Structure 1
Amino acid sequence: MGVRSDLDSNFDYEIVDEFLDHYSMMVDYMESMIIDLSKPNMYEISVNELFRVFHNIKSASSFLKITPIAKLAAFVEDTLETIRTQHKSVNEETINWLLEISDMFAIWKDDLKLDNELTHIKYSLLKLPDLESS
C-alpha cells in the first residue's frame, strides 16, 4: 500500500484530493520562484511567495500526517524566514540548494501520484548552504 492509499484510508477523499491538487500546483511553481530569486526586481516577491508555499505544504502535510514532507517543509520554511528577514539577496549556492529541495518535493509528488511509498529524503538537503550573499 502506497502513501495515497494510506491517506485515502485515513482521511476524507475530498481532503486528500484537494491536498494533492494544491501540492502539485505548488511544486510545479516552485522552480520558477527559486530562479526568480536571482533577479533583483523579483527577489522580494519570490522569497515571500516561496515562504508561503513551504508554510502551506508544512501545514497541510502535518494535518495529513505525511511526516517527511512536513519536516522538510518546516526546515525550508525556517530557512526562508531567515533569508527574508536577514538577507537582501541569495547566492548561487542557496539557489542550487533550493532547486535540489524542489526536486525532492517533485519526487514526492510522483510518489503520491503513483501511490508509492515516499522516497527517502536525500540527507544532503539537510545541510544548509552558506546563506551569505557573495
Structure 2
Amino acid sequence: MGARSDLDSTFDYEIVDEFLEHYSMMVDSMDIMIIDLSKPNMYEQSIDELFRVFHNIKSASSYLKISQMAKLAAFVEDALENIRTNHSSANEETINWLLEISDMFNAWKNDLTLDKELSRIKFSLLKLPDLENN
C-alpha cells in the first residue's frame, strides 16, 4: 500500500483529492518562482509567494499527518522567512538549494500520484545555503 492509499484509508477521499490538486499546482509553480528570485523586479513578489506556498504545504501536510513533508516544508518556510526578513536578494547557492527542494516536493507529488511510498528526504537538503553570500 502506498502513500495515497494510506491517506485514502484515513481521510475522506474528497479531502485527499483536494489536497493533491492544490499540492500539484503549488509544486508545479515552484521552479518559476524560485528562478524569479534572481530577477530584482520579481524578487519581493516571488519570495512572498514561495513563503505562502511552503506555509500552505506545511499546514495541509500536517493536517494529513504526512510528517516528512510537513517537517521539510516548515524547515524551508523558516529559511524563507529569514531570507525575506534579512536579505534583499537571493544568491545563486540559495536558488540552487531551493530548486533541489522543489525537486524533492515534485518527487513526492509523483510518489502520491503513483501510490508509492514517499521518497526519503535527501540529507543534503537539510543543510542551509550560505545566505550571507550575496
TM (norm. structure 1) is 0.99
Please, which runs of 5 or more residues in structure 2 have no aligned partner? none
Q: How many residues align?
A: 134
Please, which runs of 5 or more residues in structure 1 have no aligned partner? none
CA contact (8 A) 1:89 1:133 kept: no
Superposed counterparts of 1:1-134, under 5 Å: 1-134=1-134
CA distance in 1, matches of 2:51, 2:133: 19
**Secondary structure class of the residue paired with 2:60:** helix
CA distance in 1, matches of 2:112, 2:68: 13
The percent of aligned pairs where both chains have the same amino acid is: 79
**Secondary structure class of the residue paired with 1:77:** helix
**Secondary structure class of the residue paired with 1:117:** coil
**Which stretches of structure 1, 4 residues or longer, exceed 4 Å deviation after superposition?**
none
What CA deviation, in whole Å up to 9, does each residue of 1:51-71 have, x standing for no partner?
000000000000000001000
CA distance in 2, matches of 1:126, 1:50: 18
CA distance in 2, matches of 1:119, 1:101: 13
How far the C-alpha of 1:132 sits from its partner, in A, is: 1.5
CA distance in 2, matches of 1:76, 1:60: 15
Amino acid at match of 2:124: S
- What RMSD, in angstroms, separates the aligned Cα atoms of the two structures? 0.5
